[in-house]
Amino acid sequence: MEKIKIDQGDALIIVDVQNDFLPGGALEVPNSDVIIPVLNRYIVLFSKAGLPVVATRDWHPPDHCSFKNQGGLWPPHCVRGTKGAEFSPELELPENTIIVSKATSVESDAYSGFEGTNLDEILREKGIERLFIGGLATDYCVLNTVKDALKNGYKVFLLTDAIKAVNIKPDDGAKAEKEMIEGGAVPLKFEDIAQNLYE
Ligand code: VGL
Ligand code: ZN
């Protein structure tokens, strides 16, 4: 297969790689720590090429509607300003990372990085047309971010070596991947990208 070359118009989107979604966190995604070194390799690639790196984060108020104690589905997680809401210290985000906070108000949840944020405007302003998307969790925030990206007209590459699922039902992650690919996302692994173009 011909390698994919990253170039102007491309951006890396890292979804919700926050302590609460990692092993030991309030809403831990099983084995999610294994994706961090892989994401770090993508980060190096995009940084060297001078291309934007975007990190989304779940950024909830303490009484957010998605929390069980408020009638929602999830244990309290990613409360803004807490350790659990911080990006993993292992994730080597560049200084100029564009941070997008979502689900920041009590009454609304948002699984997509585009929902209630200015992510689309930020990308358009920079002339971005292709998105390389990885992070957590495959079956929630990655799924919904990818679906919105496709809806908004971006070409989407799903980084299948840099996502992990919650899997409340064991095949949720596999189903989500299938849904994204059927919707037009192209599955991609690190080895599928041409290296050393910008060294
Ligand atoms: C997420 C559950 C609740 C996610 C966020 O980032 O995938 N999942 N809030
Ligand atoms: Zn959340």
Other residues' Cβ atoms within 10 Å of the Cβ of residue 133: 26
DSSP secondary structure string, 99-165?
EEEES-STT----STTTTSSHHHHHHHTT--EEEEEEE-IIIIIHHHHHHHHHTT-EEEEEEEEEE-
- pLDDT tens digit sequence for 126-169: 999 999 999 999 999 999 999 999 999 999 999 999 999 999 99
How far, in Å, from the CA of 53 to the mean position of ligand 2? 21
Give the side-chain half-sphere CA count within 13 A for 121: 5
- Domain ranges in the chain are 10-191
Q: Does the beta carbon of 74 lie inside 6 Å of ligand 1? A: yes
**Catalytic status, residue 63:** no
Active site residue 16: yes
pLDDT per residue as tens digits for the range 36-50: 999 999 999 999 999
Q: Is 58 in the pocket of ligand 1 (CB under 6 A)?
A: yes
From 13, 58, 100, 143, mutation site for ligand 1 pocket: most ligand atoms within 8 A of C-beta = 58
How confident is residue 197, by pLDDT bands cut at 50, 70 and 90? confident
pLDDT in the model for residue 2: 87
Query: Is 59 a pocket residue for ligand 1 (Cβ < 6 Å)?
Result: no
**CA 90 vs CA 3, 82, 195: distances in Å:** 28, 17, 23
Q: Is the CB of 141 under 6 A from ligand 1?
A: yes
Using an 8 Å Cβ cutoff, are 33 and 23 in contact? yes
Q: Determine the pLDDT at residue 198.
A: 67
CATH number of 10-191: 3.40.50.850
Nearest CA to ligand 1 atom 6: 141
How far, in Å, from the CA of 194 to the mean position of ligand 2? 35
With a 6 Å cutoff on the Cβ, whether 28 touches ligand 1 is no
What would the pLDDT profile of 40-77 be if each residue is shown by its tens digit?
999 999 999 999 999 999 999 999 999 999 999 999 99
Distance 90 CA to ligand 2 centre (A): 21
